[in-house]
């Protein structure tokens, strides 16, 4: 029997739920990927770092979505820290939780069902690297 308490198990489940909610929106996933690819202490300009290059959104609309929804959620989860002027974000204290999930998905891109992989430039590139 595990020595993990019920409250520890609940906290773990809550963290998983938070990470999955954090990754439900493409701008949030793109920001995590951009931060993952940048040096650890680097601040990234927004909305550019949250705008997927293969499906660019209107910068003004994305700016509003970021400020009112995405950035506060990611900050509350401890995944990022952000500033409004100029609008930028950097890794938060719990960033590695989301980064690890993104890395696991990318490392297994070739095993994902085509419906989750095809059309996603990031995963298609990863698959090409895995299967040259």
Is residue 1 in some structural domain? no
Coil, helix or strand for 126? Answer: helix
Domain that holds residue 101: 6-130
Is residue 50 in some structural domain? yes
Is residue 98 in some structural domain? yes
Element (H, E) at 50: none
Is residue 109 in some structural domain? yes
pLDDT tens track for 80-131: 999 999 999 999 999 999 999 999 998 888 888 888 888 877 777 777 777 7
* Residue 109: CATH number of its domain: 1.10.10.10
Is residue 45 in some structural domain? yes
Query: How many domains would you assign to the chain?
Result: 1
Is residue 20 in some structural domain? yes
Say whether pLDDT at 48 is over 90: yes
């Amino acid at each position: 029997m595990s020595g993990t308490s019920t409250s520890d198990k609940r906290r773990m489940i809550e963290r998983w739920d938070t990470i999955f909610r954090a990754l439900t929106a493409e701008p949030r996933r793109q920001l995590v990927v951009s931060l993952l690819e940048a040096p650890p202490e680097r601040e990234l300009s927004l909305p550019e770092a949250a705008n997927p290059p293969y499906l660019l959104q209107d910068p003004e609309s994305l700016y509003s979505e970021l400020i009112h929804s995405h950035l506060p959620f990611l900050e509350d989860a401890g995944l990022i820290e952000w500033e409004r002027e100029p609008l930028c974000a950097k890794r938060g204290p719990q960033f590695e939780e989301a980064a690890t999930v993104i890395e696991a998905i990318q490392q297994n891109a070739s095993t994902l069902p085509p419906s989750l992989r095809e059309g996603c430039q990031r995963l298609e590139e990863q698959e090409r690297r895995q299967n040259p």
